[in-house]
Structure 1
Amino acid sequence: MEQCIFCQIANHESPAKIVYENDSSMIIMAKEQDVSGHLLAFSKTHATDVTSIDPENWLELQNTIKKVSDHVINDCGYAGVNLLCASGKAAGQSVNHLHFHLILRQDHDGIDAWPHLEEKNQLDRDEVYRKIKNWSNF
């Protein structure tokens, strides 16, 4: 089985513009600069989605995202950061390694990174609430 691109980058087997790296996580510049300042954050330990990452790596990844977000806002002149993550094929995940997109923002930059959700296959709100509120499985 071929190793995933994020694992190759984490192992320094594939080139990337590394913005930040520690023992367990990494943030790189996205190859596709569809917007200026598009970064990708991921754990160096392979995890396919939010349900498969272990809690320690999850926390370290979140700490890394916060550290870099603080830096770009406090030191680099950005005004905000969008965090985007698709977890699972049904959510639109295209690379089988959990990762977050960080979109660096300026006031009035014209970027609309918020998803535009359409009303499709709407289930009853109370039914969905009861389903996810049932913690008997834990």
Structure 2
Amino acid sequence: MDCIFCNIINKKQDAHIIFEDESHIAIMDKYPIQKGHSLVMPKLHHEKIIDMPNDEVGALFSRVPLIARSILAATGADGFNIGQNNGKSANQIIPHVHVHIIPRYHKIGNSWARRMISANDDLDELAKAIRNNMLSR
């Protein structure tokens, strides 16, 4: 397996590291959506967040507030989005779990994809199906 993020973690590839501890690393996104866009990831390789034990997911997200506060202070951003993509169809480009911290600037604006409008009956039916699947796991 040749994973770009594993290569960065193992110091085989350069990156702009902004945070590192024994189990996680955060780097600047090479192709940022906004100034300050960064990625937080576990050092252990997992392709998708559903492949990770719950405690590791919690540990990953526990690093986000410190890093986000530091990004906001350094960039002067007014807010930020957190994103976490799983699989190619969800726009996951690198198959190694990572959390995007994307600073947002009031003066620049923020575009979101067009949203779907769902009927209440459809939402009720889907919610029930999701709950039923949770019970069977």
Gaps of 5+ in 2: none
**Percent of residue pairs bearing the same amino acid type:** 29
Choose between structure 1 and 2: higher helix proportion: 2
- Describe how 1:1-138 pairs up with structure 2 within 5 A: 2-73=1-72, 75-76=73-74, 77-112=76-111, 114-118=112-116, 124-134=122-132, 135-138=134-137
Gaps of 5+ in 1: none
Q: How far, CA to CA, are the matches of 2:46 and 2:114 in structure 1?
A: 28
TM-score (norm: length of structure 1):
0.83
Q: Secondary structure at the match of 1:28?
A: strand
The answer on whether the counterparts of 2:36 and 2:71 sit within 8 Å (CA) in structure 1 is no
Residue 119 (structure 1) shift? 6.0
Deviation for aligned residue 1:55:
2.1
Cα deviation 1:87-136 (Å, max 9, x = unaligned): 12332222211112111122222232x3323469xx92222111111133
Amino acid at match of 1:36: K
Alpha carbons of structure 1 residues 103 and 26: separation in structure 2 relative to 1, 3 Å:
same
CA RMSD, 1 decimal: 2.1
Counterparts of 2:117 and 2:77 in 1: how far apart (Å)? Answer: 34
Distance in 1 separating the partners of 2:68 and 2:79? 8
Where 1:51 maps in the other structure, the secondary structure is helix
